[in-house]
C-alpha cells in the first residue's frame, strides 16, 4: 500500500451496486485500503447499512432497481453532508451528468472503475477536508471562497462566467491530479462540444487568474498548480 493511500485505513466506505460480480470485486479490492467496507445490492439495503454504521464514504451506482443511486445520495447529503458521495455509471449521457451535478455528488466516475482514480479522488477529498480550509489560496493574491463561490484578487472581486466557475471548481476538486478534455466536457457542457471551445474557457480562466496556474500536460490533460 502506498503512503498516499495509507490514510484511508481510518475510514469506512459503503458500496452500493446491484451487479453481484462488480460488487464482490470492489469489496475485495477496497478491503485492502479501508478500515471497514460495507456492501449493499440495492438502495433499501444501503439505507439500512447507512443508518446502522458510521459511513465516511459512499460509492453508489446510478442505475439500480426500484430506487436509483442518486436519490439515495441526495438523502444522504441532507442527513450527513460531511459524508463523501461518489456515483458511478456505465452510461455517458448528459442526463446522468446533470442529475449527478444537481444531487451534489463529489465525484462522478465511469465504469469500469479505475481503482487508482477512485483512491486518488478519495485521498484528495479526505486531505482537503482535514485541512479545514474555508478560503482556498490560489497564489499571487487570488483567493477562492467555495461557500460563496466567489473569486477575489486581494479585495477585488473577479467575475467569472458560469463555465469558468465550473471549470475552476473542477480543477480544485481534482487539485492533486489532472483533468482531461473529455472530463471537462462531461462535467461542464450540457451538450457535445469541441476541444477548441473547451480550450477557450481554459484560456479565459487563465487570463482572469495568471497563465502558469493551469498547466497543460501534453497528451494527458491539465492540472492546477497551487
**pTM (two decimals):** 0.56
Mean pLDDT for 64-73 is 87
Average per-residue pLDDT for the chain: 86
In this prediction, residue 38 has a pLDDT band, given cuts at 50, 70 and 90, of very high
User: What pLDDT sits at residue 102?
Assistant: 62
Domains and CATH numbers, the chain: 3-130 (3.40.50.2300), 136-224 (1.10.10.10)
In this prediction, residue 126 has a pLDDT band, given cuts at 50, 70 and 90, of confident
Q: Is a pLDDT exceeding 70 seen at residue 134?
A: no
Round to the nearest angstrom and report the end-to-end CA distance of the chain: 26
Residue 153, C-alpha cell as written in the block: 484578487
Residues in the chain: 226
In this prediction, residue 124 has a pLDDT band, given cuts at 50, 70 and 90, of confident
Task: Tell me which of 152 and 65 has the higher pLDDT.
Answer: 152
Beta strands in the chain (DSSP E): 12-16, 36-40, 57-61, 84-89, 107-110, 136-139, 142-145, 150-153, 156-158, 214-217, 221-224
Would you say 74 and 103 are in contact if contact means Cβ atoms under 8 Å apart? Answer: yes
Angle at 184 between CA 179 and CA 187, to 5 degrees: 120
Q: Collect all residues with Cβ–Cβ distance below 8 Å to 151 and sequence separation of at least 6.
A: 138, 142, 143, 144, 145, 157, 158, 160, 165, 168, 208
Q: Is a pLDDT exceeding 70 seen at residue 1?
A: no
Would you say 39 and 14 are in contact if contact means Cβ atoms under 8 Å apart? Answer: yes
Q: Collect all residues with Cβ–Cβ distance below 8 Å to 111 and sequence separation of at least 6.
A: 22, 88, 89, 90
Of all residues in the chain, what percent carry a pLDDT higher than 70? 88
CA distance 131 to 124: 11
Task: Tell me which of 44 and 130 has the higher pLDDT.
Answer: 44
CA distance 166 to 116: 24
CA distance 32 to 203: 41
User: What pLDDT sits at residue 85?
Assistant: 92
Q: Is a pLDDT exceeding 90 seen at residue 212?
A: yes
Give the pLDDT confidence of 39-52 residue by residue, as tens digits.
999 999 999 999 99
Ranking 21-25, 33-37, 69-73 by mean pLDDT, the lowest is: 69-73
Mean pLDDT for 28-38 is 94
Cβ-based burial of 199 (10 A; exposed 0-12, middle 13-18, buried ≥19) = middle
Mean pLDDT for 81-110 is 74
User: What pLDDT sits at residue 136?
Assistant: 87
Give the pLDDT confidence of 177-209 residue by residue, as tens digits.
788 998 899 888 878 899 999 999 999 999 999
Amino acid at each position: 500500500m502506498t503512503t498516499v493511500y495509507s490514510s484511508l485505513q481510518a475510514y469506512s466506505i459503503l458500496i452500493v451496486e446491484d451487479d453481484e460480480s462488480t460488487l464482490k470485486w470492489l469489496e475485495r479490492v477496497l478491503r485492502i485500503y479501508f478500515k471497514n467496507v460495507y456492501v449493499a445490492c440495492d438502495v433499501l439495503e444501503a439505507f439500512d447499512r447507512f443508518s446502522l454504521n458510521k459511513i465516511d464514504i459512499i460509492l453508489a451506482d446510478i442505475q439500480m432497481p426500484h430506487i436509483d443511486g442518486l436519490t439515495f445520495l441526495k438523502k444522504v447529503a441532507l442527513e450527513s453532508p460531511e459524508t463523501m458521495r461518489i456515483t458511478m455509471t456505465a452510461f455517458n449521457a448528459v442526463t446522468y451528468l446533470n442529475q449527478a451535478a444537481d444531487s451534489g455528488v463529489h465525484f462522478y466516475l465511469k465504469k469500469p472503475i479505475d481503482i487508482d482514480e477512485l483512491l486518488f479522488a478519495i485521498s484528495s477529498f479526505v486531505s482537503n477536508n482535514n485541512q479545514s480550509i474555508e478560503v482556498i489560496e490560489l497564489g499571487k493574491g487570488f483567493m477562492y471562497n467555495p461557500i460563496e463561490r466567489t473569486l477575489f484578487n486581494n479585495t477585488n472581486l473577479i467575475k467569472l462566467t458560469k463555465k469558468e466557475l465550473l471549470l475552476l471548481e473542477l480543477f480544485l476538486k481534482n487539485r492533486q491530479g489532472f483533468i482531461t478534455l473529455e472530463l471537462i466536457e462531461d462535467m461542464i457542457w450540457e451538450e457535445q462540444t469541441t476541444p477548441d471551445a473547451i480550450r477557450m474557457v481554459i484560456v479565459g480562466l487563465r487570463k482572469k487568474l495568471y497563465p502558469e496556474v493551469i498547466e497543460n500536460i501534453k497528451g494527458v490533460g491539465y492540472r492546477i498548480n497551487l
